[in-house]
Amino acid sequence: MIESMVGPNEVAAFLHRHGWGDADRRPMAGDASARRYERLYRAGNKDAGQGLLMLAPPGPMATEFITVAAILDSLGLSAPRILAAEPDLGLALVEDFGDDTYTALLDHGIPPLPLYELAVDSLIHLHRHFSPDGAAARLPVFDRELFLNQTMLFCESYLPTVLDTVDDQAIESFRQAWTAPLEQALTVPNSLLLRDFHAGNLFHLSDRPGVRACGLIDFQDAGVGPVTYDMVSLLQDARRDVPARVTAACLARYTAAFPNLDPGLFEISYNVLAAQRHIRVIAIFARLAGQGKPDYMAYLPRLLALLGQALGHPVLEDLAIWFDRHLNAVIEIGQQPRQ
């Protein structure tokens, strides 16, 4: 069994305190995070319901999950209900959304467009109704400094895997190439930024109406930031190809919902944050590979292709020149999206 940092006895005591001491615990497949889940089944009584046990490092991770879940619920979106929680132990019992993740449904041949349109409608609803006050005022702000610091992980974790040497001048020119694009990326409105809003973290809840049919998880790293970011997460997925026609339809659907949003600024922000996200994820996957988890590198060709596509935008010309100079054998600039 996967246990949190508090140990198996504390986990068992937590379950007992909250009425789940007799539950059958079944570990679920993990991801790249420090958080793990177990599916709980009431012993001898399937009608008593199921839940998920979330095991995380004690402290902020569980607290932030609970905070963002409450915000999403207050806005009429479907975050898992919190059945019980003790953040100081890194433990929580949350609602089980079942098995109908977008990933599972798409892998079984469900047409993608209705699912992606529902996800976009959820973002539209969120961006119309979110207000950065109350509990949301304590969330981190995704500003230029944060985005820039994330991009520098690329130099630390990925470049040493493909270059014999990485000199300080190259690193500084990489940093400088981001300055102006990130400033332009932040000219769109801010809202709640969920950060990992993609098919693996979305559920289709067919018994719920409207945008509540889209179940949301893995939002503990949320903050306040540009509205374009979660559109990038959804439509430029590291783990699966999104058809170009679906991407185009979803972008049109979102921008049509906000007629006062400058389409040119949206396009710039979308492409800059696409490049930023792909670079951050490449760095994370390279780091995980160095920690004995090489499976994540299977996503590298897709990420490099998506990065090359984003670098074809004129606003990223200086960064494209940097890649052409230092990594021209690794990435093709300005390639067309996959169909």
Look at 4-13, 38-47, 104-113 and tell me which has the smallest mean pLDDT. Answer: 38-47
Cα distance between residue 202 and residue 218, in whole Å: 9
Angle value at C-alpha 210, between 208 and 212, nearest 5 degrees: 55
Is 230 inside a domain boundary? yes
pLDDT at 260: 97
Cα distance between residue 334 and residue 339, in whole Å: 15
Same domain? 88 vs 164: no
Full domain range(s) for residue 317: 102-326
* DSSP code at position 78: B
Pairing of strands 82-86, 214-216: unpaired
Residue 336: pLDDT band (50, 70, 90) is very low
Q: Look at residues 80, 51, 50 and name the one whose alpha carbon lies nearest to residue 212.
A: 80
Cα distance between residue 17 and residue 151, in whole Å: 43
Give yes or no for a contact between 93 and 84, defined as CB atoms under 8 angstroms apart: yes
Residues 253-275: tens digit of each pLDDT: 999 999 999 999 999 999 999 99
pLDDT at 32: 60
Same domain? 142 vs 78: no
Residue 5: pLDDT band (50, 70, 90) is low
pLDDT at 34: 74
Query: What average pLDDT does the structure give for the chain?
Result: 93
Is 137 inside a domain boundary? yes
Same domain? 38 vs 185: no
Residues 126-146: tens digit of each pLDDT: 999 999 998 899 999 999 999
Cα distance between residue 214 and residue 117, in whole Å: 10
- pLDDT > 90 fraction of the chain, expressed in percent and rounded: 84
CATH of the domain at 69: 3.30.200.20
Evaluate if residue 44 carries a pLDDT over 80.
no
- Tell me the Ramachandran region of residue 210: left when phi exceeds 0, alpha when psi lies from -120 to 50, beta otherwise: left
Q: How many domains does the chain have?
A: 2
Is 338 inside a domain boundary? no
CATH of the domain at 188: 3.90.1200.10
Give yes or no for a contact between 193 and 328, defined as CB atoms under 8 angstroms apart: no
Evaluate if residue 337 carries a pLDDT over 80.
no
